[in-house]
Structure 1
Protein backbone atom coordinates (compact mmCIF):
# COMPACT_ATOMS: atom_id res chain seq x y z
CA UNK A 1 0.00 0.00 0.00
CA UNK A 2 1.37 3.43 -0.87
CA UNK A 3 2.54 5.88 1.79
CA UNK A 4 -0.36 7.86 3.22
CA UNK A 5 -2.92 5.14 2.38
CA UNK A 6 -5.70 5.19 4.98
CA UNK A 7 -6.16 1.83 6.73
CA UNK A 8 -9.88 1.25 7.27
CA UNK A 9 -10.43 -1.77 9.52
CA UNK A 10 -13.68 -2.86 7.85
CA UNK A 11 -12.04 -2.73 4.40
CA UNK A 12 -9.05 -4.72 5.63
CA UNK A 13 -11.32 -7.35 7.19
CA UNK A 14 -13.05 -7.77 3.83
CA UNK A 15 -9.77 -7.86 1.87
CA UNK A 16 -7.98 -10.31 4.14
CA UNK A 17 -10.83 -12.43 5.46
CA UNK A 18 -9.61 -12.20 9.06
CA UNK A 19 -11.40 -10.89 12.14
CA UNK A 20 -11.52 -7.24 13.08
CA UNK A 21 -9.46 -7.96 16.22
CA UNK A 22 -6.76 -9.62 14.07
CA UNK A 23 -6.68 -6.54 11.81
CA UNK A 24 -6.40 -4.29 14.88
CA UNK A 25 -3.50 -6.38 16.23
CA UNK A 26 -1.76 -6.26 12.84
CA UNK A 27 -2.12 -2.48 12.66
CA UNK A 28 -0.74 -2.19 16.20
CA UNK A 29 2.24 -4.39 15.25
CA UNK A 30 2.89 -2.34 12.11
CA UNK A 31 2.67 0.87 14.15
CA UNK A 32 5.24 -0.55 16.58
CA UNK A 33 7.51 -1.28 13.59
CA UNK A 34 7.15 2.31 12.39
CA UNK A 35 5.33 1.31 9.19
CA UNK A 36 1.91 2.64 10.18
CA UNK A 37 0.92 5.75 12.09
CA UNK A 38 -2.23 6.32 14.10
CA UNK A 39 -3.88 9.72 13.72
CA UNK A 40 -6.16 10.73 16.60
CA UNK A 41 -9.85 10.65 15.62
CA UNK A 42 -8.93 9.68 12.04
CA UNK A 43 -7.62 6.11 12.23
CA UNK A 44 -4.40 4.68 10.84
CA UNK A 45 -2.47 5.13 7.63
CA UNK A 46 0.67 3.84 6.00
CA UNK A 47 3.43 6.08 7.32
CA UNK A 48 5.11 8.52 4.96
CA UNK A 49 8.91 8.48 5.32
CA UNK A 50 10.45 11.77 4.22
CA UNK A 51 13.78 11.91 2.41
CA UNK A 52 15.39 13.44 5.50
CA UNK A 53 14.09 10.59 7.63
CA UNK A 54 15.25 8.04 5.02
CA UNK A 55 18.76 9.51 5.29
CA UNK A 56 18.65 9.30 9.10
CA UNK A 57 17.42 5.68 8.97
CA UNK A 58 20.18 4.79 6.51
CA UNK A 59 22.76 6.42 8.78
CA UNK A 60 21.56 4.15 11.60
CA UNK A 61 21.57 1.13 9.33
CA UNK A 62 25.11 1.70 7.99
CA UNK A 63 27.12 0.49 11.03
CA UNK A 64 24.79 -2.49 11.48
CA UNK A 65 25.28 -3.51 7.84
CA UNK A 66 29.04 -3.10 8.32
CA UNK A 67 28.88 -5.44 11.32
CA UNK A 68 26.84 -8.00 9.37
CA UNK A 69 29.28 -7.87 6.45
CA UNK A 70 32.25 -8.37 8.80
CA UNK A 71 30.60 -11.31 10.55
CA UNK A 72 29.50 -12.84 7.23
CA UNK A 73 33.10 -12.74 5.97
CA UNK A 74 34.23 -14.45 9.17
CA UNK A 75 31.50 -17.11 9.24
CA UNK A 76 30.40 -17.78 5.66
CA UNK A 77 30.24 -21.40 4.53
CA UNK A 78 31.21 -22.56 1.05
CA UNK A 79 27.52 -23.19 0.24
CA UNK A 80 26.56 -19.66 1.37
CA UNK A 81 29.42 -18.18 -0.66
CA UNK A 82 28.14 -20.03 -3.72
CA UNK A 83 24.59 -18.69 -3.13
CA UNK A 84 25.90 -15.13 -2.78
CA UNK A 85 27.85 -15.39 -6.04
CA UNK A 86 24.84 -16.88 -7.88
CA UNK A 87 22.61 -14.12 -6.48
CA UNK A 88 25.08 -11.49 -7.68
CA UNK A 89 24.86 -12.98 -11.20
CA UNK A 90 21.06 -12.65 -11.06
CA UNK A 91 21.43 -9.02 -9.94
CA UNK A 92 23.85 -8.35 -12.81
CA UNK A 93 21.35 -9.80 -15.28
CA UNK A 94 18.54 -7.63 -13.86
CA UNK A 95 20.64 -4.48 -14.24
CA UNK A 96 21.64 -5.55 -17.76
CA UNK A 97 18.00 -6.01 -18.77
CA UNK A 98 16.92 -2.75 -17.12
CA UNK A 99 14.48 -4.47 -14.75
CA UNK A 100 14.72 -2.01 -11.85
CA UNK A 101 11.84 -3.52 -9.88
CA UNK A 102 13.49 -6.94 -9.89
CA UNK A 103 16.86 -5.37 -9.08
CA UNK A 104 15.37 -3.48 -6.12
CA UNK A 105 13.90 -6.73 -4.76
CA UNK A 106 17.19 -8.58 -5.35
CA UNK A 107 19.06 -5.96 -3.28
CA UNK A 108 16.79 -6.73 -0.32
CA UNK A 109 17.37 -10.45 -0.83
CA UNK A 110 21.15 -9.91 -0.99
CA UNK A 111 21.11 -8.14 2.37
CA UNK A 112 19.06 -11.03 3.81
CA UNK A 113 21.64 -13.53 2.51
CA UNK A 114 24.45 -11.52 4.11
CA UNK A 115 22.46 -11.42 7.36
CA UNK A 116 22.03 -15.20 7.28
CA UNK A 117 25.73 -15.78 6.66
CA UNK A 118 26.60 -13.39 9.51
CA UNK A 119 24.69 -15.47 12.04
CA UNK A 120 24.02 -12.35 14.11
CA UNK A 121 20.23 -12.38 14.63
CA UNK A 122 20.10 -9.18 16.69
CA UNK A 123 21.80 -7.02 14.04
CA UNK A 124 19.87 -8.76 11.24
CA UNK A 125 16.54 -8.10 13.00
CA UNK A 126 17.38 -4.43 13.55
CA UNK A 127 18.40 -4.05 9.89
CA UNK A 128 15.16 -5.71 8.79
CA UNK A 129 13.10 -3.26 10.83
CA UNK A 130 14.97 -0.28 9.39
CA UNK A 131 14.88 -1.64 5.83
CA UNK A 132 11.11 -2.06 5.90
CA UNK A 133 10.76 1.71 6.22
CA UNK A 134 13.00 2.40 3.20
CA UNK A 135 11.56 0.22 0.45
CA UNK A 136 9.92 3.11 -1.41
CA UNK A 137 13.10 5.21 -1.31
CA UNK A 138 15.26 2.28 -2.41
CA UNK A 139 13.01 1.64 -5.42
CA UNK A 140 13.00 5.34 -6.36
CA UNK A 141 16.82 5.36 -6.26
CA UNK A 142 16.85 2.36 -8.60
CA UNK A 143 14.85 4.42 -11.11
CA UNK A 144 17.56 7.07 -11.34
CA UNK A 145 19.58 6.82 -14.56
CA UNK A 146 22.90 5.09 -13.88
CA UNK A 147 22.20 4.40 -10.18
CA UNK A 148 21.66 0.62 -10.57
CA UNK A 149 25.12 0.24 -12.17
CA UNK A 150 26.75 2.26 -9.38
CA UNK A 151 24.93 0.20 -6.77
CA UNK A 152 25.82 -3.06 -8.52
CA UNK A 153 29.52 -2.19 -8.54
CA UNK A 154 29.38 -1.42 -4.80
CA UNK A 155 27.50 -4.61 -4.00
CA UNK A 156 29.89 -6.64 -6.18
CA UNK A 157 32.75 -5.36 -4.01
CA UNK A 158 30.76 -6.38 -0.93
CA UNK A 159 30.13 -9.90 -2.22
CA UNK A 160 33.76 -10.25 -3.34
CA UNK A 161 34.99 -9.25 0.13
CA UNK A 162 32.58 -11.57 1.96
CA UNK A 163 33.22 -14.57 -0.27
CA UNK A 164 36.94 -13.78 -0.10
CA UNK A 165 36.58 -14.06 3.69
CA UNK A 166 38.09 -10.60 4.27
CA UNK A 167 36.20 -9.10 7.25
CA UNK A 168 37.81 -5.64 7.16
CA UNK A 169 37.26 -5.24 3.44
CA UNK A 170 33.67 -6.51 3.76
CA UNK A 171 32.85 -4.00 6.50
CA UNK A 172 34.46 -1.20 4.48
CA UNK A 173 32.50 -2.21 1.35
CA UNK A 174 29.20 -2.21 3.23
CA UNK A 175 29.95 1.18 4.78
CA UNK A 176 30.99 2.63 1.40
CA UNK A 177 27.78 1.35 -0.21
CA UNK A 178 25.58 2.95 2.45
CA UNK A 179 27.52 6.22 2.29
CA UNK A 180 26.77 6.19 -1.44
CA UNK A 181 23.08 5.52 -0.76
CA UNK A 182 22.99 8.46 1.68
CA UNK A 183 24.65 10.72 -0.90
CA UNK A 184 22.15 9.61 -3.57
CA UNK A 185 19.19 10.11 -1.24
CA UNK A 186 20.46 13.60 -0.41
CA UNK A 187 20.67 14.67 -4.06
CA UNK A 188 17.60 16.15 -5.72
CA UNK A 189 15.95 13.66 -8.06
CA UNK A 190 16.29 14.30 -11.81
CA UNK A 191 12.61 15.29 -11.88
CA UNK A 192 13.42 18.13 -9.50
CA UNK A 193 11.64 16.68 -6.46
CA UNK A 194 13.10 14.85 -3.49
CA UNK A 195 14.51 11.33 -3.89
Structure 2
Protein backbone atom coordinates (compact mmCIF):
# COMPACT_ATOMS: atom_id res chain seq x y z
CA UNK A 1 0.00 0.00 0.00
CA UNK A 2 1.49 3.39 -0.98
CA UNK A 3 2.42 5.62 1.91
CA UNK A 4 -0.21 8.22 1.06
CA UNK A 5 -2.93 5.54 1.15
CA UNK A 6 -2.10 4.36 4.68
CA UNK A 7 -4.94 4.92 7.14
CA UNK A 8 -3.63 6.94 10.09
CA UNK A 9 -6.11 6.04 12.80
CA UNK A 10 -9.23 4.09 13.67
CA UNK A 11 -10.23 0.49 12.97
CA UNK A 12 -8.89 0.60 9.41
CA UNK A 13 -5.48 1.66 10.67
CA UNK A 14 -5.45 -1.08 13.30
CA UNK A 15 -6.26 -3.70 10.66
CA UNK A 16 -3.58 -2.34 8.34
CA UNK A 17 -0.96 -2.50 11.11
CA UNK A 18 -2.15 -5.95 12.15
CA UNK A 19 -1.80 -7.34 8.63
CA UNK A 20 1.68 -5.86 8.24
CA UNK A 21 2.82 -7.23 11.59
CA UNK A 22 1.38 -10.66 10.94
CA UNK A 23 3.03 -10.87 7.51
CA UNK A 24 6.42 -9.74 8.86
CA UNK A 25 6.36 -12.38 11.60
CA UNK A 26 5.05 -15.18 9.37
CA UNK A 27 7.70 -14.49 6.72
CA UNK A 28 10.48 -14.43 9.31
CA UNK A 29 11.26 -10.73 8.86
CA UNK A 30 10.96 -10.34 12.63
CA UNK A 31 13.03 -12.75 14.70
CA UNK A 32 11.82 -14.66 17.78
CA UNK A 33 12.25 -12.55 20.94
CA UNK A 34 12.65 -9.36 18.87
CA UNK A 35 11.38 -6.35 20.81
CA UNK A 36 8.42 -4.58 19.21
CA UNK A 37 8.58 -0.87 19.98
CA UNK A 38 5.12 0.62 19.72
CA UNK A 39 6.23 4.12 18.74
CA UNK A 40 8.76 2.91 16.14
CA UNK A 41 6.25 0.54 14.52
CA UNK A 42 3.56 3.22 14.49
CA UNK A 43 5.91 5.56 12.64
CA UNK A 44 7.08 2.80 10.27
CA UNK A 45 3.54 1.81 9.31
CA UNK A 46 2.14 5.33 9.30
CA UNK A 47 -0.51 4.80 11.99
CA UNK A 48 -1.18 6.27 15.41
CA UNK A 49 0.28 4.72 18.56
CA UNK A 50 -3.25 3.89 19.67
CA UNK A 51 -3.85 1.92 16.45
CA UNK A 52 -0.52 0.12 16.82
CA UNK A 53 -1.26 -0.67 20.47
CA UNK A 54 -4.61 -2.20 19.45
CA UNK A 55 -2.91 -4.23 16.69
CA UNK A 56 -0.31 -5.55 19.14
CA UNK A 57 -3.02 -6.59 21.59
CA UNK A 58 -4.88 -8.51 18.88
CA UNK A 59 -1.81 -10.24 17.49
CA UNK A 60 -0.87 -11.21 21.05
CA UNK A 61 -4.18 -13.08 21.29
CA UNK A 62 -3.16 -14.99 18.13
CA UNK A 63 -0.03 -16.30 19.85
CA UNK A 64 2.46 -14.51 17.58
CA UNK A 65 3.48 -11.85 20.09
CA UNK A 66 3.83 -11.90 23.86
CA UNK A 67 3.68 -9.13 26.43
CA UNK A 68 6.56 -8.94 28.90
CA UNK A 69 5.70 -7.17 32.14
CA UNK A 70 7.22 -3.70 32.24
CA UNK A 71 9.08 -4.38 28.99
CA UNK A 72 6.41 -4.14 26.30
CA UNK A 73 5.95 -6.65 23.48
CA UNK A 74 8.20 -9.07 21.63
CA UNK A 75 7.84 -11.75 18.97
CA UNK A 76 6.89 -14.90 20.84
CA UNK A 77 9.51 -17.62 21.15
CA UNK A 78 8.01 -21.01 20.26
CA UNK A 79 9.77 -23.77 22.19
CA UNK A 80 10.59 -27.13 20.67
CA UNK A 81 7.92 -28.78 22.84
CA UNK A 82 5.33 -26.31 21.54
CA UNK A 83 6.47 -26.88 17.96
CA UNK A 84 5.88 -30.61 18.43
CA UNK A 85 2.38 -30.01 19.83
CA UNK A 86 1.51 -27.62 17.01
CA UNK A 87 2.70 -30.14 14.41
CA UNK A 88 0.57 -32.83 16.02
CA UNK A 89 -2.45 -30.54 15.65
CA UNK A 90 -1.47 -29.76 12.07
CA UNK A 91 -1.49 -33.47 11.28
CA UNK A 92 -5.24 -33.72 11.80
CA UNK A 93 -6.11 -30.44 10.10
CA UNK A 94 -3.72 -30.74 7.14
CA UNK A 95 -4.89 -34.31 6.61
CA UNK A 96 -8.49 -33.12 6.45
CA UNK A 97 -7.60 -30.42 3.92
CA UNK A 98 -5.69 -32.86 1.72
CA UNK A 99 -8.63 -35.29 1.71
CA UNK A 100 -11.01 -32.47 0.77
CA UNK A 101 -8.64 -31.25 -1.94
CA UNK A 102 -8.55 -34.73 -3.48
CA UNK A 103 -12.34 -34.62 -3.72
CA UNK A 104 -12.81 -31.16 -5.21
CA UNK A 105 -9.61 -30.16 -7.09
CA UNK A 106 -10.06 -29.00 -10.66
CA UNK A 107 -7.75 -30.13 -13.44
CA UNK A 108 -6.12 -26.70 -13.43
CA UNK A 109 -5.48 -26.92 -9.68
CA UNK A 110 -3.99 -30.38 -10.07
CA UNK A 111 -1.64 -29.00 -12.71
CA UNK A 112 -0.67 -26.19 -10.33
CA UNK A 113 0.16 -28.73 -7.62
CA UNK A 114 2.25 -30.69 -10.09
CA UNK A 115 4.11 -27.53 -11.09
CA UNK A 116 5.03 -26.79 -7.48
CA UNK A 117 6.21 -30.39 -7.05
CA UNK A 118 8.45 -30.04 -10.09
CA UNK A 119 9.84 -26.75 -8.79
CA UNK A 120 10.54 -28.38 -5.41
CA UNK A 121 12.44 -31.19 -7.14
CA UNK A 122 14.50 -28.61 -9.03
CA UNK A 123 15.29 -26.71 -5.83
CA UNK A 124 16.54 -29.92 -4.22
CA UNK A 125 18.62 -30.76 -7.30
CA UNK A 126 20.07 -27.23 -7.27
CA UNK A 127 20.89 -27.43 -3.56
CA UNK A 128 18.65 -24.43 -2.81
CA UNK A 129 17.02 -25.03 0.60
CA UNK A 130 15.66 -21.48 0.91
CA UNK A 131 13.63 -21.77 -2.30
CA UNK A 132 12.60 -25.27 -1.27
CA UNK A 133 11.29 -23.95 2.06
CA UNK A 134 9.26 -21.27 0.27
CA UNK A 135 7.81 -23.83 -2.16
CA UNK A 136 7.01 -26.13 0.77
CA UNK A 137 4.95 -23.31 2.26
CA UNK A 138 3.29 -22.62 -1.11
CA UNK A 139 2.32 -26.26 -1.58
CA UNK A 140 0.63 -26.59 1.80
CA UNK A 141 -1.11 -23.22 1.28
CA UNK A 142 -2.44 -24.30 -2.12
CA UNK A 143 -3.78 -27.58 -0.75
CA UNK A 144 -5.56 -25.69 2.01
CA UNK A 145 -6.97 -23.23 -0.51
CA UNK A 146 -8.20 -25.99 -2.81
CA UNK A 147 -9.89 -27.79 0.07
CA UNK A 148 -12.32 -24.96 0.75
CA UNK A 149 -12.33 -26.04 4.42
CA UNK A 150 -12.36 -22.52 5.79
CA UNK A 151 -12.46 -23.42 9.49
CA UNK A 152 -9.43 -25.69 9.21
CA UNK A 153 -7.62 -23.14 7.05
CA UNK A 154 -8.12 -20.39 9.63
CA UNK A 155 -6.80 -22.59 12.43
CA UNK A 156 -3.83 -23.74 10.36
CA UNK A 157 -2.81 -20.21 9.41
CA UNK A 158 -2.55 -19.31 13.08
CA UNK A 159 -0.66 -22.51 13.92
CA UNK A 160 1.73 -22.32 10.98
CA UNK A 161 2.64 -18.71 11.68
CA UNK A 162 4.19 -19.86 14.96
CA UNK A 163 6.42 -22.41 13.20
CA UNK A 164 8.31 -20.10 10.85
CA UNK A 165 11.68 -20.46 12.62
CA UNK A 166 11.44 -24.24 13.09
CA UNK A 167 10.31 -24.83 9.49
CA UNK A 168 13.20 -22.80 8.11
CA UNK A 169 15.73 -24.55 10.35
CA UNK A 170 14.49 -27.95 9.18
CA UNK A 171 14.82 -26.90 5.54
CA UNK A 172 18.49 -26.02 6.16
CA UNK A 173 19.29 -29.36 7.81
CA UNK A 174 21.50 -31.50 5.53
CA UNK A 175 19.48 -34.22 3.80
CA UNK A 176 16.11 -33.00 5.07
CA UNK A 177 14.85 -31.45 1.78
CA UNK A 178 15.64 -34.68 -0.09
CA UNK A 179 13.62 -36.72 2.39
CA UNK A 180 10.81 -34.19 2.53
CA UNK A 181 10.57 -34.00 -1.26
CA UNK A 182 9.49 -37.63 -1.66
CA UNK A 183 6.87 -37.11 1.05
CA UNK A 184 5.44 -34.05 -0.67
CA UNK A 185 5.40 -35.74 -4.06
CA UNK A 186 3.41 -38.61 -2.49
CA UNK A 187 0.83 -36.09 -1.27
CA UNK A 188 0.56 -34.55 -4.74
CA UNK A 189 0.24 -37.99 -6.34
CA UNK A 190 -2.61 -38.98 -4.02
CA UNK A 191 -4.51 -35.74 -4.65
CA UNK A 192 -4.01 -36.12 -8.40
CA UNK A 193 -5.44 -39.63 -8.10
CA UNK A 194 -8.47 -38.05 -6.37
CA UNK A 195 -8.00 -40.49 -3.49
CA UNK A 196 -9.00 -38.72 -0.22
CA UNK A 197 -7.84 -41.53 2.07
CA UNK A 198 -4.45 -41.79 0.39
CA UNK A 199 -4.04 -38.00 0.44
CA UNK A 200 -4.76 -37.82 4.16
CA UNK A 201 -2.43 -40.74 4.87
CA UNK A 202 0.35 -39.13 2.81
CA UNK A 203 0.06 -35.86 4.75
CA UNK A 204 0.08 -37.69 8.07
CA UNK A 205 3.17 -39.65 6.98
CA UNK A 206 4.91 -36.42 6.01
CA UNK A 207 4.10 -34.67 9.28
CA UNK A 208 5.12 -37.77 11.25
CA UNK A 209 8.48 -37.38 9.56
CA UNK A 210 8.54 -33.68 10.53
CA UNK A 211 7.82 -34.64 14.13
CA UNK A 212 10.71 -37.09 14.07
CA UNK A 213 13.02 -34.40 12.73
CA UNK A 214 11.88 -31.88 15.36
CA UNK A 215 12.37 -34.36 18.20
CA UNK A 216 15.86 -35.10 16.93
CA UNK A 217 16.91 -31.51 17.70
Is the TM value for this pair above 0.5? yes
Return the offset for 1:14.
Answer: 2.4
CA distance in 2, matches of 1:95, 1:21: 46
**Does residue 36 of structure 1 match 2:97?**
no
**Does residue 88 of structure 1 match 2:117?**
yes
Residue 191 of structure 2 corresponds to which residue in structure 1? 162
Return the offset for 1:103.
Answer: 1.2
Over aligned residue pairs, what C-alpha RMSD do you find? 0.9
Report the more deviating stretch, 15-24 or 63-72.
15-24
| Counterpart mapping for 1:2-21 below 5 A | 2-21=31-50
| Counterpart mapping for 1:119-134 below 5 A | 119-134=148-163
Aligned counterpart in structure 2 of residue 64 of structure 1, from 93, 96, 99: 93
CA distance in 2, matches of 1:156, 1:29: 37
Return the offset for 1:42.
Answer: 1.2
Cα deviation, 1:45-73, whole Å, max 9, x if unaligned, reads: 00000111100110111110110111100
Aligned counterpart in structure 2 of residue 171 of structure 1, from 177, 182, 200: 200
Q: Normalising to structure 1: TM-score of the pair?
A: 0.94
Residue 27 of structure 2 corresponds to which residue in structure 1? none
Return the offset for 1:31.
Answer: 0.6
**Does residue 144 of structure 1 match 2:167?**
no
Report the more deviating stretch, 9-18 or 39-48.
9-18
Return the offset for 1:168.
Answer: 0.7
Return the offset for 1:17.
Answer: 2.0
Q: Normalising to structure 2: TM-score of the pair?
A: 0.84
Return the offset for 1:22.
Answer: 2.1
Cα deviation, 1:11-32, whole Å, max 9, x if unaligned, reads: 1122222221221122122111
Tell me which stretches of 4 or more aligned residues in structure 1 moved more than 3 Å: none
Residue 103 of structure 1 corresponds to which residue in structure 2? 132
CA distance in 2, matches of 1:23, 1:95: 40
Cα deviation, 1:98-136, whole Å, max 9, x if unaligned, reads: 221111111111111101111111111111110000011
Return the offset for 1:183.
Answer: 0.4
Residue 184 of structure 1 corresponds to which residue in structure 2? 213
SS of the counterpart of 2:47? coil
CA distance in 2, matches of 1:95, 1:43: 41
Unaligned 5+ segments in structure 1 are 189-195
